[in-house]
């Protein structure tokens, strides 16, 4: 008996890959979204064999204009009712604002912010009508403070956190669960894509994608709004709330430097 269908973005690697495993193990059918179709097909086969999950693979570049709308239209035409949207796809880039190419920074905003907002809005009406399911958005502990040397990424995650918290409040009493998963440094392709794997922050230690995904899935299932992955990350977020902003800016700038 299926619990419904979960659409998860960024499932070809990392946290999204593991989130797909969590949803499948708990009885959800899946729509898998990312650019690398072979990785999605492999995961679909694995989950079909292990759990009997019905999986639809939707290779798609969410940076393309209209990608979210086209994905929604394809699924609507195919009569696929999406009950849960997991906006996990995202990337970062280390470097000061003036050093990073403008196009890369704008692409980051398109994926981390615009596509996430579009997919949430497009599928929300159906969920509200059926009064089931919800949204799990992946932000970051980066969302709690400004991030010198990674300014656009941190700002994009602050948006995800704020947007998701507001949506959670708006949907109280509708039967939907809305959560924001905030991982700290996690061992995935994110480190090499962003250049963060060479940073002092990542050298302090990373969590596994599986642990982060399981915490996120449990948090969403139990209706928690903000799900910070791991004790150390929860402690770091507490410190941000206690320390003055000027001190936080200095500390984060130092943590985002290359480790020697």
Ligand X SMILES: NC(=O)c1ccc[n+]([C@@H]2O[C@H](COP(=O)([O-])OP(=O)(O)OC[C@H]3O[C@@H](n4cnc5c(N)ncnc54)[C@H](OP(=O)(O)O)[C@@H]3O)[C@@H](O)[C@H]2O)c1
Q: Is 159 in the site for ligand X (CB under 6 A)?
A: no
Stretch that binds ligand X, among 75-83, 184-192, 243-251, 252-260 (CB under 6 A): 184-192
Q: Which residues contact 207 (CB under 8 A, 6 or more apart)?
A: 183, 184, 185, 186, 187, 229, 230, 233
Q: Is 161 in the site for ligand X (CB under 6 A)?
A: no
Q: Is 193 in the site for ligand X (CB under 6 A)?
A: yes
With H, G, I as helix, E, B as strand and everything else as coil, classify residue 222.
Answer: coil
Q: Is 153 labeled as catalytic in the residue annotation?
A: yes
Report, in Å, the least distance between residue 173 CB and ligand X.
Answer: 29
Within 126-145, which residues bind ligand X (CB under 6 A)? 138, 140
Q: Which of 86, 100, 111, 176 binds ligand X (CB under 6 A)?
A: 111
Region for 229 from its dihedrals, namely left if φ exceeds 0, alpha if ψ lies in -120 to 50, beta otherwise: beta
Q: Which of 105, 114, 179, 186 binds ligand X (CB under 6 A)?
A: 186
Q: Is 12 in the site for ligand X (CB under 6 A)?
A: yes
Report, in Å, the least distance between residue 58 CB and ligand X.
Answer: 10
How far, in Å, are 167, 186, 202, 253, 258 from residue 199 at the CA level?
33, 13, 5, 11, 4
Helix (H) or strand (E) holding 86: strand 84-87
Residue among 128, 130, 124, 126 nearest 163 (CA): 124
Q: Is 109 in the site for ligand X (CB under 6 A)?
A: no
Instruction: Give the whole-angstrom CA distance, residue 157 versus residue 180.
Output: 10
- Catalytic residue list: 153
What is the contact surface with ligand X in residues (CB under 6 A)? 9-16, 34-36, 61-63, 88-92, 111, 138, 140, 183, 185-186, 188-190, 193, 209
């Amino acid at each position: 008996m299926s619990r419904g269908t979960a659409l998860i973005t960024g499932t070809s690697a990392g946290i999204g890959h593991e989130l797909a495993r969590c949803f499948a193990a708990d009885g959800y059918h899946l729509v898998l979204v990312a650019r690398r179709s072979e990785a999605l097909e492999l995961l679909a086969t694995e989950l079909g064999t292990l759990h009997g999950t019905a999986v639809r693979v939707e290779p798609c570049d969410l940076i393309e204009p209209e990608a979210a709308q086209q994905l929604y239209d394809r699924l609507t035409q195919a009569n696929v009712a999406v009950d849960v949207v997991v906006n996990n796809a995202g990337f970062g880039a280390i470097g000061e604002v003036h050093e990073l190419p403008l196009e890369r920074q704008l692409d980051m905003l398109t994926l981390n912010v615009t596509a996430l907002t579009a997919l949430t809005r497009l599928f929300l009406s159906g969920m509200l009508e059926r009064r089931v399911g919800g949204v799990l958005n992946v932000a970051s502990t980066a969302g709690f403070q400004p991030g010198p040397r990674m300014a656009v990424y941190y700002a994009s995650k602050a948006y995800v956190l704020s947007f998701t918290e507001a949506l959670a409040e708006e949907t109280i009493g509708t039967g939907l669960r809305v959560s924001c998963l905030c991982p700290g440094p996690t061992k995935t392709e994110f480190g090499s894509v962003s250049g963060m794997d060479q940073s002092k922050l990542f050298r302090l230690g990373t969590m596994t994608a599986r642990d982060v995904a399981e915490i996120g899935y449990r948090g969403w299932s139990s209706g928690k709004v903000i799900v910070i992955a791991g004790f150390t990350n929860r402690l770091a977020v507490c410190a941000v709330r206690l320390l003055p902003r000027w001190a936080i800016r200095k500390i984060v700038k130092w943590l985002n430097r290359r480790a020697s």
